[in-house]
């Protein structure tokens, strides 16, 4: 993965800035340069797309996790809040 | 993802108002259980961490000064409990030595297949979900805690740094490594899956 775009941005630059780019924490001018780099660099485009997809998949997977009812009951019991157990919708 | 922080009265919480304490538990227990489960990969350990976290929160509320938000403070207690549980379970396992080359060389992606356009039903089928679970358990614990708080629970970089007693720079470095590590693991899996289906 060694590639330098004509504007001087390298694959290494993209990698170092990948997280900040995904999180929208970069200056607009830097974002534009990274975008231009990815237009000419298939590998960096793939790394960007698959990384954002990876984050999304974990968010989708884990947000489905729920506390099992018996775990919730034992927690409320441990905290002496049993009488509030029925309040959940 | 992070639940919207409910409007809880700190005064009532500090005074031990049971109704307010129950609201606090209702609001944060799903997130804390999720974090503990994924940090530890074991339901019993996760439940222990969940209970200990809230016992400690209740005990320490009177001294909570509000320097960070209530949610960050609770995450901080939970993350500490989870890391202590790991140390107890694996005493020979040093978390301090786990992340090498912290600020050094960049992790180099190897898997270059583009699986990002696969249909979601395929990316998250039962087998793929198991792979996601396996991959996150192979992620070094120090990277896992950062990934879970930032990318799954939706804390900001600053909040993640506060919750884990790290600098923001450290959080950013670990987050990048965590994301690339998981990307690599999933890429290997989905590439094989695509090849088998051809």
Going along chain B from its start, the domains and CATH numbers come out as 10-89 (1.10.1740.10), 120-197 (1.10.10.10)
pLDDT bin (cut points 50, 70, 90) of residue A3 is: low
CA gap B58, B123 in Å, rounded? 41
Q: Tokens for B85?
A: 């549980």
What integer is the mean pLDDT of A26-52? 96
For B26-53, how does the pLDDT look when each residue is reduced to its tens digit (9 = 90+)?
Answer: 999 999 999 999 999 999 999 999 999 9
Q: What is the 3-state secondary structure (H, E, C) of A21-89?
A: HHCCCCCHHHHHHHHHHHHHCHHHHHHHHHHHHHHHHHHHHHCCCCCCHHHHHHHHHHCCCHHHHHHCC
- Give the per-residue pLDDT at A21: 96
- Per-domain boundaries in chain A: 11-87
Q: Is B181 helix (H, G, I), strand (E, B) or coil?
A: helix
Q: How many CB atoms lie within 10 A of CB B103?
A: 7
Number of Cα atoms under 13 Å in the Cβ half of residue A17: 22
> Which of B175, B95, B92, B189 has the alpha carbon at shortest distance from B133?
B189
- Give the per-residue pLDDT at A89: 43
- Kindly tell me if the per-residue pLDDT of B100 is higher than 60: no
The pLDDT mean for chain B works out to: 90
Most distant CA atoms of chain B, gap in Å: 64
Phi and psi torsions of B61, nearest 5°: -55, -35
- Kindly tell me if the per-residue pLDDT of B20 is higher than 70: yes
pLDDT bin (cut points 50, 70, 90) of residue B189 is: very high
Beta carbons of A43 and B112 less than 8 Å apart: yes
What integer is the mean pLDDT of B125-136? 95
Beta carbons of A79 and B113 less than 8 Å apart: no
Which tops the pLDDT comparison, B4 or B124? Answer: B124
Is residue B31 within 8 Å of A55, Cβ to Cβ? no
Q: What percent of chain B has pLDDT over 70?
A: 89
CA gap B21, B19 in Å, rounded? 5
Q: Is B158 helix (H, G, I), strand (E, B) or coil?
A: helix
- Kindly tell me if the per-residue pLDDT of B1 is higher than 70: no
Nearest chain A CA: its distance from B94 CA (Å): 26
Residues 20-79 of A with CB under 8 A from B: 20, 22-23, 25, 43, 45-47, 49-55, 57-63, 65-68, 71-72, 74-76, 78-79
- Kindly tell me if the per-residue pLDDT of B19 is higher than 70: yes
pLDDT bin (cut points 50, 70, 90) of residue B97 is: low
């Amino acid at each position: 993965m060694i590639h330098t775009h004509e504007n001087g941005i390298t694959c290494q630059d993209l990698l170092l800035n990948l997280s900040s780019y995904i999180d929208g924490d970069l200056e607009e001018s830097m974002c534009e340069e990274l975008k231009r780099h990815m237009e000419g660099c298939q590998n960096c485009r793939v790394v960007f797309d698959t990384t954002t997809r990876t984050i999304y998949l974990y968010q989708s997977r884990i947000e489905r996790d729920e506390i099992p009812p018996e775990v919730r009951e034992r927690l409320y019991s441990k905290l002496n809040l049993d009488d509030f157990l029925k309040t959940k919708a | 993802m992070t639940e919207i922080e409910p409007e809880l009265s700190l005064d009532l919480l500090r005074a031990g108002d049971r109704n307010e304490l129950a609201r606090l538990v209702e609001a944060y227990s799903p997130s804390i259980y999720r974090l503990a489960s994924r940090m530890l990969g074991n339901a019993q350990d996760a439940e222990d961490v969940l209970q200990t976290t809230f016992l400690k929160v209740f005990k320490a509320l009177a001294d909570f000064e509000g320097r960070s938000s209530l949610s960050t403070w609770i995450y901080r207690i939970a993350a500490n409990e989870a890391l202590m549980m790991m140390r107890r379970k694996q005493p020979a396992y040093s978390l301090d030595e786990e992340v090498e080359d912290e600020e050094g060389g960049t992790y180099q992606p190897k898997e270059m297949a583009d699986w990002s356009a696969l249909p979601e039903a395929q990316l998250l089928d039962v087998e793929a979900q198991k792979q996601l679970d396996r991959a996150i358990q192979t992620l070094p614990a120090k990277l896992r805690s950062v990934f879970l708080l930032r990318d799954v629970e939706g804390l900001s970089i600053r909040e993640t740094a506060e919750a884990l007693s790290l600098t923001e720079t450290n959080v950013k470095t670990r987050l990048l490594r965590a994301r690339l590590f998981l990307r690599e693991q999933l890429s290997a899996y989905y590439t094989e899956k695509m090849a088998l289906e051809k």
